[in-house]
Amino acid sequence: MQPSHRTGATLRAAALLAAAGLAAAAHAATVSASRPMLTSTTAANYTLEKYLQRSGTIGALVSDGWSPTAGAGDTAGFRATYTVAADGSGTHATVQAAVNAASGSARVYIAVKPGTYRATVCVPRGKPPITLYGTGSDNTKAVIVFNNAGPKPKSSNTAANACNPNTGSTTYGTTGSATFTVAANDFHAKNLTFSNDYVEDTYAGSGQQAVALMSTGDRLIFDSVRFLGHQDTLFVSSGGYDVVARSYFKNSLVQGDVDFIFGRGTAVFDGCTVKYLKGRKGNGGNHIAPATAAGNTYGFLFVNSRFTHDGASGNSVSIGRSWDEGVSTGMYRAGVSPNGQAVIRQSTMDGHIKLQAPWGASTSGRAFSPSGNRFREYLNTGAGS
């Protein structure tokens, strides 16, 4: 006897419900002590607005109404104060020369024509608001790149770079490896690539830090920007351990293999792609390493973003770990030492992410725990969620 149309529909509905139940059960299996989730109630405390509403000194933070979600603006409406062109057709041949020329209190617009600009750049404290933008058709056309690295040797009386000279050291160090450093407030970048193309293991050492961009300024916007590197690609910091400095990243790409988004700064990644590169580490690397001060509620927020990869094995890569900045192994002090904070919400997690234990031990050796660490997720999707 053939089932009626109603009976067939009922069976199909039952099958769909069963499949949904299995999917829910599979997802629920990742919600554990090793993978804590926010509730709809607690998620209200970890929004873009909450992360970006205040800055200043911890204990005396001030709300200033900063709302950067519109991004850096439409380049079609920009009027260049200076133009950088490697072929000599602009006002300056290098980005640093244009930055050095910026003065006054009004926003300075620096256009960068398509080309590869191989040099380190420092935007020092005290510079006026600067918008640095590429004039090419997309963010691959204007590339600011260099290849310094933490273990790279130098003489002790040679400056690593203008913002982080690291004189007295015989290596460049992490801060000294930065291709581009922003120490000024209110800096905006759009339609550009910041890169560190150091070839890993060129110099011996367990650390192969090579920073593409380092920031310590407040109210920074990076809109449609690429950050390319491997270990320690994007260093989001602040002017001091007790200082909150905010950055907003919109529709941008960050790629690397170890701790490639890290630091004590407060940062929101909105509609961004976070790409793990398997080349050197294969499987077993990680993406983020916030070093949020113990007294700072907000570290890194990823929203409407995607964690992806270039061919890593499934269920093999950690989301991240806490960088206990300045803390030696076994010397961590709860409530005093840095304790990285991050929330990933309403984002896509590809299948390379470890399902059951995606958060690694901290750099000082603390095992992950939901009470001892400040990492949470909320309403993420994808094979790695």
Task: Please give the single-letter amino acid code of residue 257.
Answer: D
Instruction: Spot the catalytic one: 218, 223, 232, 350.
Output: 232
376 sits in which H/E element: strand 374-378
Phi-psi category of 104—alpha, beta or left, where left has phi over 0 and alpha has psi -120 to 50?
left
Instruction: Spot the catalytic one: 218, 223, 257, 259.
Output: 259
Helix (H, G, I), strand (E, B) or coil at 267: strand
Closest to 79 measured CA to CA, from 107, 113, 121: 107
**What tokens were used for 98?**
């244009």
Q: In Å, what is the CA distance from 290 to each residue of 120, 167, 318, 341, 362?
A: 24, 26, 14, 6, 10
**CA-CA-CA-CA dihedral for 328, 322, 296, 215, to nearest 10:** 90
**What tokens were used for 317?**
């890569």
Helix (H, G, I), strand (E, B) or coil at 375: strand
Establish how many alpha carbons lie within 13 A of residue 379's alpha carbon, considering only the half-sphere containing its beta carbon: 12
197 sits in which H/E element: none
Tokens 């999707």 locate to 381
For this structure, is 87 an active site residue? no
Q: In Å, what is the CA distance from 53 to each residue of 2, 64, 296?
A: 64, 7, 13
For this structure, is 232 an active site residue? yes
Cα 105 → chain centroid: 29
Residue 204 · residue 151 · CB < 8 Å:
yes
Catalytic residue numbers, as ranges: 232, 259
